[in-house]
Amino acid sequence: MIISRQKEFKDILKTVELRNIFIIGCGKCAAKQHLGGEPEVLEMKKKLARSGKNVVGSTVLSSACNIASWDDVLNQNPDIKKAEALLVMSCGGGVSIISSVAEKAVYPALDTESLGGVCRDTIVLEQCGMCGDCDIWLFGGLCPVGQCPKSMRNGPCGGAVEGKCEADERKCVWDEIHRKLKSLGRLELLKEIHNPKDHSKRGRRK
């Protein structure tokens, strides 16, 4: 799941200078995080109206990043034609896909943070570093590229204090990697020296 967070409403107002706005929500990751589903879209509609904007309509697409036909979206939502701007309540993937098919000014309502997930109703951030070269099994299934702020692959830095990461409030993932590999009886994997990542494999377009 793509993890996003809500932009501050005042910042949205500042960027969307145009008056006639159509709001597009996303039924996938953004809806699951309560950031771009039906209730959030309706709430946004009210707030924009209160701030003097003319919301010409709204919809929640099943997935903002997966548009089979923009014509179909237009047919189902003819009010889009009246809009000068589209406010998209999805991750950057959805915003970009809609921008690429809609001949309108498109604005994001969310900030995209990381590739994470939801586990037992808890949103977990930054699970995968999207390095394009996955070898997560060497680390007990915990990605140090995504989960260590310094992306250290040969062990922890010296910055953690009592298991707490130097960079922010998270626990040091290296303690968890160690615990997991120990429980799997694979501690010898930690002795392996890992070469620098090949960043040319990252985010390559076909």
Partner 1 sequence: MIREKLLSGKFTITAEISPPKGTDISGMMKEAGMIKDAVDAVCVTDNQRAIMRMSPVAACCALMREGFDTIMHLTCRDRNRLALQSELLGAASLGIKNIIVMSGDYPTKGDHPGAKPVYDLDSVQLLDMISRLNNGIDLSGNRLEGKTEFFAGAVSNTELTEVAIMKLEKKIKSGARFIITQAVFDPGKFYEFRDHVHDAGGEQIKIIAGIIPLRSRKTADFLNSNIAGVKVPDDMINRLTSSSDPGALGIEMAAEIIKELRGICDGVHIMPVGTHENTRKILEMAGL
Site residues for partner 1 per CB under 8 A: 149-161, 166-168, 174-175, 177-178, 187, 190-191, 193-197, 199
Phi, psi of 159 (to 5 degrees): -90, -10
**Which one, 136 or 190, has the nearer CB to partner 1?**
190
Q: How many CB atoms lie within 10 A of CB 189?
A: 13
Q: Left (φ > 0), alpha (ψ -120 to 50) or beta: where does 58 sit? A: beta
Residue 47 CB, nearest distance to partner 1 (Å)?
A: 29
Is the Cβ of residue 34 or residue 199 nearer to partner 1 in the bound state? 199
The answer to whether the beta carbons of residues 18 and 131 sit under 8 Å apart is no
Give min distance, CB of 141 to partner 1, in A.
Answer: 16
For residue 110, what are its two tokens? Answer: 């969310």
Q: Which is nearer to partner 1, 119 or 193 (CB)?
A: 193
Q: Least distance in Å: CB of 116 to partner 1?
A: 19
> At its nearest, how many Å lie between partner 1 and the CB of residue 80?
36
CA 44 to chain centre: 19
Nearer to partner 1, 132 or 159 (CB): 159
**Distance of closest approach, residue 120 Cβ to partner 1, in angstroms:** 27
Closer residue to partner 1 (CB): 69 or 195 = 195
Residues in the chain: 206
Shortest reach from residue 179's CB to partner 1, in Å? 9
| Closest C-alpha to 61, from 48, 46, 77, 47 | 77
Which H, E and C letters describe 128-181, residue by residue?
A: ECCCCCCCHHHHCCCCHHHHCCCCCCCCCCCCCECCECCCCCCECHHHHHHHHH
d(CA 105, CA 103): 7
Which residue number, 122 or 195, has a Cβ lying nearer to partner 1?
A: 195
